[in-house]
C-alpha cells in the first residue's frame, strides 16, 4: 500500500506531474534543451522573486550547498547553524579545506540579527550561510532582520539554504539581498528528488572569480559561465526527465498563484500546530515554528516507531525526531501539493491510533 508521505521530503508528487517524466528524451545539446532550461530558469526567477541568474544541478540540495560555500569563500565563512543542516554546511566547508567557523543557536531556537552583526563586525568573514528552514527542529529562521544586518557588510556573500521552504513560503531573494539561495525539487515544489536549483547574484559570481580550487561538477562559476555561453545548456548531461516534470509543475505553481500557495502552506501549518498544542507541545517557540514542517515534543512518551507502523497500515507516514531528538520529538511535514483536507485526514488518523480523539 502506498503511504502518503508527511515527512520533510520526499513528499507525494501528483500523478500528472509524475507522468511528465515519461516524455521521450531529447539531445542535451539541442535547441529544445536550451528552450526547456530557459523556460525553467525564467519560471524559477518568478518563484525566487529574483532577476539574478538561476543554476540547475543534477544533484540533491546538498550538492549546490557545497558548491556555494566552496566556490564563493575566498577568506573565511561564517556558518550560522540552527540544527542538522547548518552542521552539514560547516562539515562541507571543512571537508573542502574552506576556512570556516560555526555559530550555533540552541536546538529549537533561531539566529538573531544581533548574533550575525557581532560575528560580522570581527571583519573575518567574506561569506555567511544561514539555514532558512531547519527540518530537524521545525524552525523557520526569520530572514528579514539578518538581511538588514548584511546590508551593512556589502563585501560579504549572503547564502541561504531554502531547500525545504522555497515555494512554500514567501522568500524574496532580491529584496532580502541574498546572493545565493538554494532549494531542491522534493520539498515544497512537489517534485521528485534528484535536482537542486539556486539563484546566484552577480556579486556571488564576482566573489567566485577570486577563489581557487572550486572543483568542477559543483563549481558555481563553471556552471554560470557555461550557461551564459551555451544558451542555458550545462557542462554535463542534465536530468532531463526531472526537468520535464519541473517545467510542467512550475506552471501549476504559478497558476495556483504564489500567495495562494503560501497561504495553503500556512493553513496546513496552523492546523498541525493547533493539533500539536492540544495534544502535545510544539518543539520550537510558536513564533519560530516552520510553515512547512512541524516538530512536536513527544510529551506523552509515545513509541514513535510504533505510531509510524500503525499509520503505515492506514496509508500514512510521518517522521521521527532527527538525530538525538529521535523519540523526544516527531515531525509532520505539510509541503508541496497537499491540502488542508489531506492534513486533517492524517491528524484524525493519528488521533484514532492514539485513541485520543474528540
H-run or E-run covering 80? strand 77-81
Residue 333 as a binder of a second copy (CB under 8 A): the answer is: no
For 37-54, the DSSP string reads HHHHHHHHHHHHT-SSEE
- Smallest distance, Å, CB 104 to a second copy? 19
The residue whose grid cell reads 527540518 is 135
Q: Residue 260 to residues 209, 274, 287, 291: CA-CA distances in angstroms?
A: 39, 21, 21, 14
Is residue 329 within 8 Å of 315, Cβ to Cβ?
A: no
Contacting residue, 10, 113, 145, 177, with a second copy by CB under 8 A: 10
Residue 265 as a binder of a second copy (CB under 8 A): the answer is: no
Residue 92 as a binder of a second copy (CB under 8 A): the answer is: yes
Residue 162 as a binder of a second copy (CB under 8 A): the answer is: no
Residues 123-142 interacting with a second copy (rule: CB under 8 A): none
- Smallest distance, Å, CB 327 to a second copy? 15
Residue 3 as a binder of a second copy (CB under 8 A): the answer is: yes
Strand 133-134, strand 157-161: pairing: unpaired
Measuring CA to CA, which residue among 172, 151, 168, 152 is closest to residue 160?
172
Residue 76 as a binder of a second copy (CB under 8 A): the answer is: no
Question: Binding segment for a second copy among 104-112, 186-194, 199-207, 297-305 (CB under 8 A)?
Answer: 186-194
Residue 86 as a binder of a second copy (CB under 8 A): the answer is: no
Cell of 250: 512550475
The C-alpha atoms of residue 108 and residue 69 are separated, in whole angstroms, by 24
DSSP SS3 for 20: helix
Residue 165 as a binder of a second copy (CB under 8 A): the answer is: no
Cell of 27: 539531445
Contacting residue, 83, 108, 138, 238, with a second copy by CB under 8 A: 238
Residue 216 as a binder of a second copy (CB under 8 A): the answer is: yes
Q: 29: number of CA atoms within 13 Å, CB side?
A: 2
Task: Return the number of other C-beta atoms located less than 10 Å from residue 95's C-beta.
Answer: 10
Residue 145 as a binder of a second copy (CB under 8 A): the answer is: no
Residue 61 as a binder of a second copy (CB under 8 A): the answer is: yes
Cell of 114: 544581533
Is residue 62 within 8 Å of 84, Cβ to Cβ?
A: no
**Long-range contacts of the stretch 101-105 (C-beta < 8 A, 24+):** 101/76, 101/77, 101/125, 103/78, 103/79, 105/80, 105/81
Contacting residue, 50, 59, 292, 329, with a second copy by CB under 8 A: 59
Cell of 190: 512537489
* Nearer Cβ to a second copy (70/282): 70
* Nearer Cβ to a second copy (152/213): 213
- Smallest distance, Å, CB 242 to a second copy? 6
For residues 240 to 259, the per-residue mask of contacts with a second copy, x marking binding by CB under 8 A and - elsewhere, is: xxx-----------------
DSSP SS3 for 207: helix
* Nearer Cβ to a second copy (28/170): 28
Contacting residue, 34, 99, 270, 317, with a second copy by CB under 8 A: 317
Contacting residue, 215, 257, 323, 357, with a second copy by CB under 8 A: 215
Those residues whose C-beta lies under 8 Å from the C-beta of residue 240, and which sit 6 or more positions away, are 25, 26, 28, 33, 36
Residue 229 as a binder of a second copy (CB under 8 A): the answer is: no
* Nearer Cβ to a second copy (271/318): 318
- Smallest distance, Å, CB 236 to a second copy? 4
Question: What residues make contact with a second copy under the rule CB under 8 A?
Answer: 2-3, 5, 7, 9-13, 15, 18-19, 21-30, 58-63, 66, 70, 88, 91-92, 95-97, 184, 186, 192-195, 212-219, 222, 235-242, 317
Amino acid at each position: 500500500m502506498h503511504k502518503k508521505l508527511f515527512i520533510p521530503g520526499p513528499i507525494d508528487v501528483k500523478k500528472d506531474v509524475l507522468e511528465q517524466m515519461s516524455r521521450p528524451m531529447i539531445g542535451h545539446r539541442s535547441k529544445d534543451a536550451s528552450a526547456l532550461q530557459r523556460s525553467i530558469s525564467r519560471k524559477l526567477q518568478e518563484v525566487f522573486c529574483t532577476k539574478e541568474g538561476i543554476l540547475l544541478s543534477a544533484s540533491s540540495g546538498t550538492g549546490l550547498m557545497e558548491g556555494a560555500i566552496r566556490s564563493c569563500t575566498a577568506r573565511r565563512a561564517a556558518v550560522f547553524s540552527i540544527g542538522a543542516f547548518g552542521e552539514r554546511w560547516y562539515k562541507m566547508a571543512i571537508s573542502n579545506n574552506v576556512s570556516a567557523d560555526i555559530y550555533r543557536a540552541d536546538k529549537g531556537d533561531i539566529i538573531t540579527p544581533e548574533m550575525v552583526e557581532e560575528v560580522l563586525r570581527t571583519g573575518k568573514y567574506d561569506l555567511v550561510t544561514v539555514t532558512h528552514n531547519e527540518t530537524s527542529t521545525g524552525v523557520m529562521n526569520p530572514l528579514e532582520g539578518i538581511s538588514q544586518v548584511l546590508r551593512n557588510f556589502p563585501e560579504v556573500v549572503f547564502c541561504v539554504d531554502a531547500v525545504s521552504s522555497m515555494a512554500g513560503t514567501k522568500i524574496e531573494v532580491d529584496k532580502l539581498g541574498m546572493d545565493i539561495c538554494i532549494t531542491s525539487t522534493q520539498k515544497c515544489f512537489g517534485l521528485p528528488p534528484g535536482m537542486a536549483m539556486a539563484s546566484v547574484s552577480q556579486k556571488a559570481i564576482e566573489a567566485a572569480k577570486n577563489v581557487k580550487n572550486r572543483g568542477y561538477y559543483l563549481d558555481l562559476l563553471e556552471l554560470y559561465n557555461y550557461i551564459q555561453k551555451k544558451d542555458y545548456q550545462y557542462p554535463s548531461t542534465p536530468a532531463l526527465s526531472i526537468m520535464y516534470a519541473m517545467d510542467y509543475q512550475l506552471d501549476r505553481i504559478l497558476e495556483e498563484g504564489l500567495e495562494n500557495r503560501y497561504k495553503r502552506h500556512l493553513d496546513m501549518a496552523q492546523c498541525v500546530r493547533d493539533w500539536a498544542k492540544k495534544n502535545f507541545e510544539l518543539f520550537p517557540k510558536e513564533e519560530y515554528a516552520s510553515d512547512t514542517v512541524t516538530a512536536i515534543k513527544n510529551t506523552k512518551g509515545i513509541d514513535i516507531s510504533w505510531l509510524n507502523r500503525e499509520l503505515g497500515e492506514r496509508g500514512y507516514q510521518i517522521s521521527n525526531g532527527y538525530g538525538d531528538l529521535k523519540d523526544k520529538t516527531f515531525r509532520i511535514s505539510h509541503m508541496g501539493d497537499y491540502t488542508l483536507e489531506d492534513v486533517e485526514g492524517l491528524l484524525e488518523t493519528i488521533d484514532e491510533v492514539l485513541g485520543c480523539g474528540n
